[in-house]
Structure 1
Amino acid sequence: MGSTSLFEDEPDGTQEAIMQATYRALCEHGYAGLTIQRIGDEFPKSKSLLYHHYDGKDALLLEFLSFMLERFEATIPDREHDDARDHLEAILDHALPTDLDSERAEFRAAMVELRAQAATDEAYREHFSRNDRFFRRRLAAVVRRGIEEGVFRDVDPERAAAMMLSAIHGAMQEEATTDTERTAAVRNELRAYVESRLVAPDDESEAIE
């Protein structure tokens, strides 16, 4: 998680170049300070292309969020060859990294700003609902697999996933909106939660096998 950018390669076409410019402008200015002009300042081609494809900032940002969700889905650790416990820990590390560089930290803060728009904007609400639904289902699927393998206790996978997702969102929001550094503490507590609440005792695992 120490890379300096979510876009490590040259953009593949105009659409990806627009998404990269949006990402850079969002990291620099946040949602409140973001304008089409500032996105255009990061865009290597004619700014008129932005105005041609998008009616305004929010239309562009909603497409950007969909683009980033596709990237997020593609980069979620897929480690079916590992046991469920290792797989779950890898997903939690991916979702709540403790070693963000300054650019990624700025981007995470901007995403917290964007999530706040969902309180009053139905389009943003729909996006973030879809995003959370995907991630919650992925977490629940790993917990369910762990139960089937005898690695995890017989817990409710959906409730476990909801709790972990809420903890992740809470840490991101608190760190983005206060002077408190919360990510490392919450990640440690999630690790403790997996160990104490999910991992099956050795005798229980042996009984299932």
Structure 2
Amino acid sequence: MENDTATEILEATHRALCRRGYADLTLGAIADEADRSTSSIHYHFDDKETLLREYLDHLHTRYIERIDAVDGGTSREELGSLLQRAIGEVEPASKAPFRTALLEVKAQAPYDDAVRERLRAFDEFLLGRVEDVIADGIESGQFDEQVDAAAAADFLVTAVIGARTRNVALGHSADVRKSIARYVDAQLVAKEPTEATR
């Protein structure tokens, strides 16, 4: 498939998903967004499910680029920036059609192995990145050596995903960033400077 055509169709899928939601997403709606015929969409993708999988792969590539772009001077700063990027903007669901549509897609995971596999890739990537930053912080003495990097990363990623889901599903807009920062300061940051940080 030509790269330009693929990108155009995937971007049209994004627009159609945001406008219509998952339940009303059809190849016809995507074709309308792409200003193409349905047959031209069928030429590249067999069905909506195949296109959705490709779209999730496309999102995953962009997600990796966004998360990999996060950097910080210290492990604490990098962890804060990484979690802030992962949380994204906290806003009412009515102003976040993409997040609403993505939540609908996530609801398909228990019934669709291919969707679940792709969503797991997002989760594992973020989890691994957070765990690596925490492990680096422990090694450098910025974080307490008693911290279990894997358990802390799992808790933080769960908090981020929960905050996003509550925001979309319930319009809950509490600033979870402050709670996460308090957790990091109270549970991860080394209380006494170590040789590595002196």
Calculate the TM-score normalised by the size of structure 2.
0.89
- State the shift of 1:25 in Å: 0.7
Contact 1:26/1:34 (8 A) holds in 2? yes
Post-superposition CA distance 1:84-141 (Å, at most 9, x none): 1111111111111235598972111111111111111111111111211111000000
CA distance in 1 between counterparts of 2:161 and 2:93 reads 19
Aligned 1:33-48 pairs, distance under 5 A: 33-48=24-39
Q: Which amino acid aligns with 1:143?
A: I
- State the shift of 1:152 in Å: 0.9
Aligned 1:17-28 pairs, distance under 5 A: 17-28=8-19
C-alpha spacing 1:66/1:13, structure 2 compared with 1 (3 Å) = same
The yes-or-no answer on 1:199 pairing with 2:189 is yes
Contact 2:144/2:188 (8 A) holds in 1? yes
Q: Which amino acid aligns with 1:174?
A: R
CA distance in 2 between counterparts of 1:151 and 1:125 reads 36
Q: Which runs of 5+ in 2 are unaligned?
A: none
C-alpha spacing 1:148/1:123, structure 2 compared with 1 (3 Å) = same
Q: Which amino acid aligns with 2:194?
A: S
Q: Which amino acid aligns with 1:83?
A: T
Q: Which amino acid aligns with 1:26?
A: L
CA distance in 2 between counterparts of 1:103 and 1:45 reads 29
- State the shift of 1:179 in Å: 3.6
Aligned 1:3-14 pairs, distance under 5 A: 13-14=4-5
Partner residue in 1 for 2:107:
116
Partner residue in 2 for 1:4:
none
- State the shift of 1:181 in Å: 2.5
- State the shift of 1:79 in Å: 5.1
Q: Classify the secondary structure of the residue corresponding to 1:119.
A: coil
Aligned residues: 195
Contact 1:77/1:90 (8 A) holds in 2? no
Post-superposition CA distance 1:32-62 (Å, at most 9, x none): 1111111111103443221111122111111
CA distance in 1 between counterparts of 2:172 and 2:70 reads 33
For the aligned residues, what is the CA RMSD? 2.2
Contact 1:112/1:172 (8 A) holds in 2? no
Q: Which moved more, 1:186-195 or 1:92-101?
A: 92-101
Which of 155, 170, 185 is 1:163 aligned to? 155
Partner residue in 2 for 1:56:
47
Calculate the TM-score normalised by the size of structure 1.
0.85
Which of 137, 160, 165 is 1:173 aligned to? 165
Which of 72, 75, 82 is 2:73 aligned to? 82
Partner residue in 2 for 1:5:
none
CA distance in 1 between counterparts of 2:196 and 2:123 reads 35
C-alpha spacing 1:82/1:187, structure 2 compared with 1 (3 Å) = same
